[in-house]
Amino acid sequence: MNTLVSVLYIVAFVLFIYGLMGMTGPRTAVRGNWIAAAGMAVAVVATLLLPGMGNWPLIALGLGIGAVIGVPAARRVKMTAMPQMVALFNGVGGGAVALIAWVEFRVTTGYEAEPRYVAIASLFAAIVGSVSFWGSGIAFGKLQEILPGRPVTLGRLQQPLNIVVLTAAVVCAVIIASGGRSELLIIGVLVAAGLIGVMVVLPIGGADMPVVISLLNAFTGLSAAAMGLALDNTALIVAGMIVGASGSILTNLMAQAMNRSIPAILAGGFGGGGDAGAATVSGAGDRPVRSTSTADAAIQLAYAGRVMVVPGYGLAVAQAQHAVREMADLLEAKGIDVAYAVHPVAGRMPGHMNVLLAEADVPYEALKEMDESNSAFPQVDVSLVIGANDVTNPAAQSDPSSPIYGMPILHVTSSRSVIVLKRSMGSGFAGIDNALFTDAKTAMLFGDAKESVAGIVEELKTL
């Protein structure tokens, strides 16, 4: 039986890696997801075949509850709510690891007669898993707008308090590893780590939330790998390390895309969550805003030779991706080149815009990364910005006093003209005004993005 389990685990690992490889592009992402899911199913079956496995009714109950809650939730979630769904599911994984660590403490009577590495790995998993669970819960609340998107901080006391609470968790863990048997100690570890998760994520604003979700995802993977080491479960170790490594790499890439360090992001205090009381761009209030209509926008697009669509979170909110695809088809039928400039952190999670456009069957070849897009903008006749805010703000390049100064952006002002589709002049996640809206090249088309694009489509049909 042990040989069979080992073989099944190897099959599961191969499927994990092959599935992950499939997620490198939209065309193979769905297949890759199914392959990885099949690998997890194989790993679960292999684990259930381990000698000594029992209490089958409880296992069946757990699997049933998970399926009843997870499957409908994943199928019904709207694309705009996908980031908070990811945060929630990720947090559940971290919470599960923390609970397993607690159970392991009780079953082994405080790791009595267990090797020292088992206690250390289990306590590490308890701390990191609890941080991930509670931190993901706060991230979910901010994204779902249950909690304020702006930074919530204690000012100068924030970092000292974080250090005190983290020290408390570590001290309790050290006492346990040194032979402490009181269950209050493991509860203290979980509570203190949970407070750290809350206190670290609350001060982080909406602008940094995509990076936070990716970082917490990496935390969950690392906690699972550590718990696998404590339980001598190869599947947990491998799967956890894959998640931890990929999440860490993604977090670093996203931080670089925002020109911000991970410590600076964790320090919090940046990003107003799009509140009305936004900081003002220097001189922006003195410049007039030029508005346009769907008819004028359609004419401008119809006589262009090259159009670049710049999607953002507003596109996801309005669910305008299918209307955009219809508009692009009409323009391409007129011989106009249409491409899509996708910023790495556009939206509320990594790859948000890619997934959204793939849902509308936008060809993958039409999606251009930031560097390629910026090289192309000088040859673009019309840049159509749909709900993208901070990632197009020229202040990131021109205003040293701006909170986003130095952040790589899409240089839409390099194109010959710009049309911005937006409900209002409100700010983005960074909580600052966008100088693009008052640029001489820019025309603002106010209203719901889906309705505006649909209006442009109807006008194009008459031209």
Q: What residues form DSSP beta bridges with 422?
A: 446
Distance CA 201, CA 224 (A): 21
Cβ partners under 8 Å of residue 446, min gap 6: 291, 422, 423, 424
Catalytic annotation present for 439: no
Q: What residues form DSSP beta bridges with 310?
A: 385
H or E element, residue 382: strand 382-386
DSSP 3-state assignment of 311? strand
What burial letters (b/e) apply to 262-288, b meaning 16+ CB within 10 Å? beebbbbbbbbbbbeebeebeebeeee
Name the catalytic one among 232, 337, 381, 390.
390
DSSP alpha helix (H) spans, 146-208: 158-177, 183-201
Instruction: Give 157's DSSP letter.
Output: G
- Decide: 214 and 204 in contact? Cβ < 8 Å: no
Nearest to 176 by CA among 188, 165, 185, 187: 185
Distance CA 221, CA 31 (A): 22
Active site residues: 390
